[in-house]
Chains A and B, each alone.
Chain A
Amino acid sequence: MTAMTPVNVLVIFASRSGRTETLALAAAVGAVQARANIRLRRLPGSLASASHNEILARMQREYVPPASADAIWADAVIIAVDGKLAGVSMDSEGATAYGRQAAAATRPPML
């Protein structure tokens, strides 16, 4: 193990309108700022309201759902649902700070 070994942060989110996706992206950026590797995964099956069809179609195209290999890969997991990150309402700036802190506080993997 070296101090420079990057940690792997898995960000899982559920989003229909793109609002929670924005939080998840912000948290992922924070993790990258802390020099972590990241994976973003979207939970499938969310029903869209008519006004969000275009955003939903984009997210379905851009993201894959989480798989067991992602859980094995991850040293830390951040979850965003219902406009909250890790169960807390916050803005993008707060989400980036959370992602940065979560990655920095995660113990690097033993090699």
Chain B
Amino acid sequence: MIKVRPAADRGQADRGWLHSRFTFSFAEYHDPDHMGFRALRVINEDRVAPGKGFGPHAHRDMEILTYVIEGSLLHRDSTGAQHTIRPNEIQIMSAGNGVVHSEFNASTTDPVHFFQIWILPADEDLRPGYQQIGFDPAEKEGGLRLLAAPWIKNGQCVTIHQNAFVYAAQLKSGRELTHVLDANRYSWVQMTKGSASVNSQLMQEGDGAAISEERELRIAGAPSGCEFLLFDLP
């Protein structure tokens, strides 16, 4: 079963310097029918004006992934981490028993466009942590590039405190890929650029899809191509 969450139906906030689209309930946007999917709690698509951002605020018991589409984002947190995240990188902050962090557009001239994803950890009160890796964009072309997993695979992804796997992929026109879901596994596909079909179900840019009781996903890029994130969830 594939249930599409159309981009236009998402919650939204517009504060001038910040344009946000909320796939699931977040902050002032609350819809009891859209509180998350399995361990996935938040998918926010944010566009932040040059030099603007979110001042220091707290998180607890959440695995927070940041994936930049365009621009650069400066992250500082109370674990002492300070990094700039750019496209073709993945950052995870494990909030654990408490972390305070800020995020600002690292550029004073260009906007930043990114997705922020919250996944519930398997355990509470973990030690806070921070990881960031980069990868060659060719690695996501035509196939799934693993970004996050419960364990480090060849040192090439970040670890997440949940039995969840996060992938990125880019498909040019006519390209197709498949992903096999084990029994009792679920998936969410988030289209970040362009459009595609997932088991013949059409998805446009910004759409999400909750996938249950499917054993194989066949994803085919539209003529204009596509990029997406795929979550393999317990």
> Is A32 touching B60 in the complex (CB atoms < 8 A)?
yes
A28 with B100, Cβ < 8 A, contacts A35-B60, A37-B58, A38-B58 known: yes
* Interface 0/1 of B99-128, CB less than 8 Å to A: 110101000000000000000000000000
A62 with B104, Cβ < 8 A, contacts A29-B99, A33-B97 known: yes
* B98 close to chain A: CB less than 8 A: yes
In the bound complex, residues from chain A placing their C-beta under 8 Å from that of B58 are 28-29, 32, 37-38
How distant is the Cα of A32 from the Cα of B56 in the complex, in angstroms? 13
* B87 close to chain A: CB less than 8 A: no
In the bound complex, residues from chain A placing their C-beta under 8 Å from that of B51 are 61
* Interface 0/1 of A61-89, CB less than 8 Å to B: 11110000000000000000000000000
How distant is the Cα of A40 from the Cα of B57 in the complex, in angstroms? 8
> Is B99 touching A40 in the complex (CB atoms < 8 A)?
no
Query: CB < 8 Å: which of A29, A35, A64 contacts B55?
Result: A64
Chain A interface secondary structure, helix, strand, loop or mixed?
A: helix
- Size band of the A side of the interface? 10 to 19
A40 with B56, Cβ < 8 A, contacts A32-B98, A33-B98 known: yes
In the bound complex, residues from chain B placing their C-beta under 8 Å from that of A64 are 55
Count how many pairs of residues, one from A and one from B, have CB atoms less than 8 Å apart in the complex: 44
Residues of chain B at interface, number, CB under 8 A:
15
Query: CB < 8 Å: which of A26, A35, A62, A63 contacts B78?
Result: A26
* A25 close to chain B: CB less than 8 A: yes
- Distance to closest chain B CB from A89 (angstroms): 20
Residue from B57, B78, B100 having most chain A Cβ neighbours under 10 A:
B100
- Distance to closest chain B CB from A45 (angstroms): 18
In the bound complex, residues from chain B placing their C-beta under 8 Å from that of A33 are 97-98
How distant is the Cα of A26 from the Cα of B56 in the complex, in angstroms? 12
> Is A29 touching B56 in the complex (CB atoms < 8 A)?
no
How distant is the Cα of A30 from the Cα of B57 in the complex, in angstroms? 13
How distant is the Cα of A61 from the Cα of B78 in the complex, in angstroms? 17
> Is B60 touching A63 in the complex (CB atoms < 8 A)?
no
A63 with B56, Cβ < 8 A, contacts A28-B78, A29-B78 known: yes
Nearest A residue to B56 via CB reads A40
| 19 A-B residue pairings within 8 Å (CB atoms) | A25-B56, A26-B78, A28-B56, A28-B78, A29-B98, A31-B98, A32-B59, A32-B100, A33-B97, A33-B98, A38-B57, A38-B58, A38-B100, A40-B56, A40-B57, A61-B104, A62-B53, A62-B55, A62-B104
| Closest CB pairs A-B (n = 4) | A32-B98, A33-B98, A32-B58, A62-B55
